[in-house]
């Protein structure tokens, strides 16, 4: 029999559609419901399910209670059939995560590091740390799709160079050597863009969104129509370097008055020499002698409100606050919204302002997501 490419494509399409239907299913899903949902025959469903099960991608998930007759057997994907790893690089630590196909966190670790001087040296360290991480958490290399690396950097349009990474004190530097020691597929991306991708992935629907990442470097991502808006030079969403106080505090970029200079967690460390956990612990005490902590925090919130109002005015979409500072923001969100409403000339309602769903681990999960999405596109 001659090979029929069209028939092969239809078979692949049926298998892919079945997998994606199960991947996105919110309720009980049976062979019969798959046939109805996808408008294909039961024999076609059975044939393609057999292939997916043989590949270890789906499984039976129990029986649904029946109102009469034979019970329907449920189906679901196998979330850890494939695993993706993500590494977030900052000036003083690495954050590593392993995630399954549903972006569920399987393992996490933070490791302190010295400031980056040469990317080739960083590459060797990354490889060593990653292998130890995979060993310690028993991650099966055969199921590992790849390793994503998120950098607090503006990348060149071809993703081969760092244009500027102020918090790492790096500029105009080739990325060559960063991943040479890794025997896995790799991907490198801006950290805030990764956070925006992850947040869009876990949220329902395809609402437009501006993601503001509040880490040591303040950045962001613009997500329109279900995907990123990168800009002409891949520099969209650099919210951290909008000016919120002309002639104000000096930023890591060298300019004065940037949002990053006022709202980065670095400001807490540089001012008081303490961690965020210690800062917010003292802030909650509200006793005599703690006024300076409240004063700094209120100043950070007021400048953050300026940045949020500017983003909303420019883009007219939801604004989502992420990064590890967002983990502490929930008790202060009403005050922040009040400040934003007082600045915005047209809107008193701030229902468009949200905290990230993923919070602290958004960035490493977001860069791992690249390989999950790639797998879903190919299955």
Q: Band of the pLDDT at 173, cuts 50, 70, 90?
A: confident
First-last CA distance in the chain: 26
Per the DSSP assignment, residues forming a β-bridge with 229 are 222
Question: E-assigned strands of 153-224?
Answer: 154-155, 161-165, 170-174, 186-190, 209-214, 218-224
Given the candidates 2.40.40.20, 3.90.1010.10, 3.30.420.40, 3.40.50.150, the CATH classification of the domain at 204-356 is 3.30.420.40
Q: What is the pLDDT of residues 125-134, one digit of tens each?
A: 899 999 999 9
Q: What is the pLDDT of residue 373?
A: 94
Q: Which fold has domain 5-77?
A: Arc Repressor Mutant, subunit A (1.10.10)
Q: Which fold has domain 82-196+365-378?
A: Nucleotidyltransferase; domain 5 (3.30.420)
**Quick check: do 82-196+365-378 and 204-356 share a fold?**
yes
Q: What is the pLDDT of residues 22-64, one digit of tens each?
A: 999 888 889 999 999 999 999 999 999 999 999 999 999 876 6
Question: What residues does each domain of the chain span?
Answer: 5-77, 82-196+365-378, 204-356
Alpha helices in 28-91 (DSSP H): 31-38, 42-54
What is the reported pTM?
A: 0.85
Spatial separation of the C-alpha atoms in residues 15 and 214, rounded to whole Å:
41
| 150 three-class SS | strand
| 203 three-class SS | coil
| 88 three-class SS | strand
Q: Is residue 289 exposed (0-12), middle (13-18) or buried (19+ Cβ within 10 Å)?
A: exposed
Block residue for tokens 């000036």 = 91
């Amino acid at each position: 029999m001659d090979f029929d490419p069209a028939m092969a494509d239809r078979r692949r399409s049926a298998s892919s559609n079945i997998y994606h239907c199960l991947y996105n299913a919110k309720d009980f899903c049976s062979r019969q419901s798959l046939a109805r949902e996808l408008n294909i025959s039961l024999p076609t469903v059975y044939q393609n399910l057999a292939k997916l099960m043989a590949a270890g991608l789906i499984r039976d998930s129990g029986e649904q209670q029946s109102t009469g007759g034979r019970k329907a057997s449920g189906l679901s994907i196998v979330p850890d059939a494939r695993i993706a790893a993500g590494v977030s690089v900052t000036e003083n630590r690495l954050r590593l995560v392993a995630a399954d196909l549903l972006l569920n966190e399987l393992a996490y670790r933070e490791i302190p590091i010295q400031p980056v001087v040469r990317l080739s040296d960083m590459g060797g360290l990354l490889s060593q740390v990653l292998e130890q991480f995979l060993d310690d958490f028993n991650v099966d290399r055969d199921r590992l799709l790849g390793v994503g690396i998120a950098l607090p950097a503006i990348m060149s349009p071809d993703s081969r160079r760092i244009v500027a990474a102020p918090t790492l004190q790096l500029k105009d530097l080739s990325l060559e050597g960063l991943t040479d020691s890794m025997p896995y597929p790799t991907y490198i991306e801006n950290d805030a863009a990764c956070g925006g991708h992850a947040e869009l992935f876990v949220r329902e629907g395809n609402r437009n969104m501006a993601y503001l990442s509040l880490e040591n470097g303040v950045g962001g991502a613009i997500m329109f129509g279900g995907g990123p808006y990168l800009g002409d030079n891949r520099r969209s969403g650099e919210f951290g370097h909008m000016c919120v106080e002309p002639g104000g505090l000096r930023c890591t970029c060298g300019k004065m008055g940037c949002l990053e200079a006022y709202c980065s967690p670095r400001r807490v460390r540089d001012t008081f020499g303490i961690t965020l956990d210690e800062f917010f612990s003292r802030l909650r005490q509200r006793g005599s002698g703690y006024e300076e902590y409240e004063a700094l925090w209120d100043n950070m919130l007021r400048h953050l409100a300026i940045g949020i109002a500017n983003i909303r005015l420019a883009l007219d979409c939801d604004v989502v606050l992420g990064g590890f500072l967002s983990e502490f923001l929930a008790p202060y969100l009403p005050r922040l919204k009040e400040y934003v409403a007082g600045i915005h000339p047209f809107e008193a309602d701030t229902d468009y302002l949200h905290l990230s769903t993923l919070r602290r681990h958004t960035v490493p999960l977001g860069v791992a997501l690249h390989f999950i999405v790639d797998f879903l596109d190919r299955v």
